[in-house]
């Protein structure tokens, strides 16, 4: 009976899940292309320079937005729908509304990015899309989040577990964050650098309180369910969750260190971001203590390999992030391309890797069709290699950049000249990642979108029979 209800849930999620994953895939490719163009423009500034639509700034900003809202948003909807439905043992309702809202979400992002390229961007971090698209984005988000919460409310098991906390919290955080930021940036506009504080707070929190908790929730779901053993030291998870909830909104402003803002703002940020070692340690213990009890299963089951790559990368780079928030170190790295390292490790090395794993895990259950092992392995190894090269280049390049920029006698162009080799490496890394993601998305679409010729083939078979 349990079996059938799981199948019913998968069946109910099939259409919405496929829609969101398919559109997430397209956004992933768009972001990969934009990322490559941006990286290539740093090695050859003349590239595409005669078209106003493709200035470096516009490309870079639309890439971040395509990645976070296009790929991030759609994949968050897809995995949270399925995980929440499975954990609630309750089917998804209102698929029509989900698809409708999803279509608006995607159209709004498309027009938002075109708006950025056409020169109508706003000056707030990750809120750069023009004013007009935000109401549409907000309303469609509310519809989708509401329908996921409806599934959660009708759950059979009243007691909730870690993946539910993280995913539900992320779903609630995003609209709250948006309203707080929108109020201070567009309605009761703050004066002077108050805008900068709020824009930094929003831009960083989108990563910390939207993408990160969903990915952590996914890991808390998939690790015990695949390994068939409970999370090690599960009692710590609740502490880790509230630590992130309590500390992350405060910690993100440490990036303003030394800037023209009240001094207590970055000071509070620095203290809180150092305190972030606790939730990082908790999540890392929970995941890795559980996973390393059955390494062969982790290694052989590809979705789990993706997830553990993501959690490892989360642990390592979050600790690096804590180190870089210490004022003595931040002095060097604050304005260097280390910022690219932070962004990319979080969205590529952590969030995307976990989502890839989840998609490979969920897809066969929902559609009944499997992506070929060779393609999956190719995707894993190229992703791992690309992410590794990208992050290493940004890390070492960022340190070089930061240290040299602190030599007052060194001409600026000399500083940039010594960072150029690292820009070249990132360009290659984005090519590798682009190919890797192309393979992923092609296979995804092959599984999701029904082959238009398949019904003809059936007809032929029937006739011959």
Partner 1 sequence: MNNIFKFAIYIFLTLAFAWLAFFVGAKNQYGDLEPTSEYLEENKSVPKDADLFPKSMSGNAQLGAKEYLSLGCVTCHTQQVRTIDAGFDVERGWGQRPSVPRDYILQKEVLLGHNRVGPDLANIGLRGYTREWLHKHLFNPQILVEGSICQPSPFLYDVANEYSTGAINADNEADDNASTIFIKPTLRANRIVSYLESLKQDYELPEMSFIETQDEDAEDVEDVEDVILAEESTTKEAQSGVPTWLADQIASGKEIYSKITPGGGMCVGCHLPNGLGQPGAIPPLDGSDWVLGDKERLIKISIHGLMGEVVVNGKKYVGAMQGFGQTLGSPLNDQQIADVLTYIRNEWGNSVSAISPEEVKAVRDSHKNRELTSMWTEAELQKQNSSD
Say if CB 351 and CB 212 are below 8 A apart: yes
With CB under 8 A as the contact rule, the residue among 121, 206, 222, 358 that binds partner 1 is 121
For the CB of residue 197, give the shortest distance to partner 1 in the complex, in Å: 6
Site string for partner 1, 357-396 (x = CB under 8 A): ----------------------------------------
Query: Minimum Å distance from CB 376 to partner 1?
Result: 35
Measured distance CA(88)–CA(91) in Å, rounded:
8
> Which part of the chain contacts partner 1 (CB under 8 A), choosing from 66-74, 175-183, 289-297, 298-306?
175-183
Label each residue of 16-59 as H, E or C: HHHHHHHHHHHHHHHHHHHHHHHHHHHHCCCCCCCCHHHCHHHH
Q: Please list every residue from 198 through 217 that binds partner 1, using CB under 8 A.
A: 198, 200-201, 205, 209
CB of 398 within 8 A of CB of 328?
A: no
Determine contact, residues 82/366, Cβ cutoff 8 Å. yes
Instruction: From 385-393, 412-420, 430-438, 450-458, give the range in contact with partner 1 by CB under 8 A.
Output: 412-420
The set of residues, in sequence order, having a beta carbon less than 8 Å from that of 147 and lying 6+ positions away, is 92, 93, 94, 97, 98, 101
CB nearer to partner 1: pick between 123 and 368: 123
* Closer residue to partner 1, CB minimum distance, 50 or 464: 50
Chosen residue from 31, 76, 85, 177 binding partner 1 by CB under 8 A = 177
CA distance 429 to 409: 33
Rounded to 5, what percent of the chain is helix, strand, coil?
80, 0, 20
d(CA 349, CA 239): 25
Q: Which of 149/396 has CB closer to partner 1? A: 149
Binding region for partner 1 (CB under 8 A) out of 98-106, 154-162, 281-289, 357-365 = 154-162
Considering only 158, 228, 373, 465, the residue that binds partner 1 (CB under 8 A) is 158
Identify the residue among 260, 374, 450, 452 touching partner 1 (CB under 8 A): 260
**Interface of this chain with partner 1, residues 288 to 327, rule: CB under 8 A:** 327
CB of 175 to partner 1, least distance (A): 10
215: its two tokens: 């990915």
Chosen residue from 15, 97, 134, 335 binding partner 1 by CB under 8 A: 335
Q: Token pair for residue 268? A: 């509070």
In the region spanning residues 229 to 248, those forming contacts with partner 1, defined by CB under 8 A, are: 238, 245-246
From 57-65, 81-89, 136-144, 350-358, give the range in contact with partner 1 by CB under 8 A: 57-65
Distance separating alpha carbons of residues 130 and 121, to the nearest angstrom: 5
* Binding of partner 1 by 86 (CB under 8 A): no
CA separation (Å) from 442 to 99, 306, 415?
21, 19, 41
- Site pattern 179..198 for partner 1 (x: CB under 8 A): -x---x-----xxxxxxxxx
Among 21, 211, 322, 337, binds partner 1 (CB under 8 A): 337
Show the 3-state SS of 138-177.
HHHHHHHHHHHHHHHHCCCCCCCCHHHHHHHHHHHHHHHH
Would you count residue 51 as binding partner 1 (CB under 8 A)?
yes
For residue 129, give the 3-state DSSP assignment: coil
Nearest to partner 1 of 304, 429 (CB atom): 429
Q: Quick one: tokens of 292? A: 């390393």
Which of 262, 368, 372, 421 forms a contact with partner 1 (CB under 8 A)? 262
Q: Which of 160, 300, 377, 459 binds partner 1 (CB under 8 A)?
A: 160
Which of 38-46, 97-105, 215-223, 453-461 is the region at the interface with partner 1 (rule: CB under 8 A)?
38-46
Measured CA to CA, the distance from residue 108 to residue 140 in angstroms comes to: 9
């Amino acid at each position: 009976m349990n079996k059938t209800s799981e199948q019913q849930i998968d069946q109910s999620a099939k259409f919405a899940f496929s829609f969101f994953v398919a559109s997430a895939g397209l956004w992933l490719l768009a972001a990969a292309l934009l990322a490559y163009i941006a990286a290539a423009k740093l090695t050859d500034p003349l590239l595409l320079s005669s078209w106003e639509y493709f200035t470096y700034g516009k490309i870079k900003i639309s890439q971040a937005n395509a990645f976070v809202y296009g790929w991030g948003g759609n994949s968050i909807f897809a995995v949270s729908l399925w995980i929440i439905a499975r954990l609630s043992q309750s089917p998804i309702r209102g698929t029509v509304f989900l698809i409708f809202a999803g279509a608006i979400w995607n159209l709004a992002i498309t027009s938002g990015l075109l708006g950025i390229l056409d020169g109508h961007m706003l000056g707030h971090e990750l809120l750069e899309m023009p004013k007009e698209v935000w109401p549409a984005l907000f309303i469609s988000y509310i519809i989708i989040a509401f329908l996921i919460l409806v599934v959660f409310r009708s759950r059979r098991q009243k007691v909730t577990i870690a993946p539910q906390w993280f995913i539900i919290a992320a779903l609630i955080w995003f609209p709250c964050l948006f309203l707080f930021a929108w109020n201070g940036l567009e309605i009761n506009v703050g004066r002077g650098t108050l805008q900068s504080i709020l824009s930094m707070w929003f831009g960083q929190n989108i990563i910390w309180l939207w993408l990160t908790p969903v990915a952590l929730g996914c890991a808390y779901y998939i690790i015990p369910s695949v390994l068939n053993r409970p999370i090690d030291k599960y009692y710590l998870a609740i502490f880790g969750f509230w630590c992130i909830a309590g500390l992350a909104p405060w910690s993100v402003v440490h990036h303003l260190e030394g800037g023209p803002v009240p001094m207590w703002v970055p000071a509070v940020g620095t203290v809180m971001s150092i305190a972030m070692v606790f939730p990082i340690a908790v999540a890392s213990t929970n995941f890795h203590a559980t996973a390393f009890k059955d390494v062969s299963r982790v290694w052989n089951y590809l979705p789990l390999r993706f997830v553990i790559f993501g959690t490892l990368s989360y642990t390592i780079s979050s600790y690096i992030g804590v180190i870089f928030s210490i004022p003595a170190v931040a002095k060097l790295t604050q304005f260097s391309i280390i910022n690219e390292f932070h962004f990319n490790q979080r969205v590529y090395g952590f969030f995307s890797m976990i989502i890839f794993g989840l998609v490979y895990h969920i897809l066969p259950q929902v559609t009944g069709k499997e992506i070929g092992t060779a393609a999956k392995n190719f995707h894993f190894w190229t992703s791992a290699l690309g992410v590794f090269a990208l992050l290493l280049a940004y890390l070492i390049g960022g340190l070089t950049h930061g240290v040299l920029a602190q030599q007052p006698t060194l001409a600026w162009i000399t500083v940039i000249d010594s960072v150029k080799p690292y820009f070249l490496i990132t360009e290659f890394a984005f090519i590798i990642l682009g190919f890797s993601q192309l393979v992923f998305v092609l296979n995804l679409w092959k599984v999701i979108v029904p082959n238009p010729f398949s019904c003809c083939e059936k007809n032929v078979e029937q006739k011959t029979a």
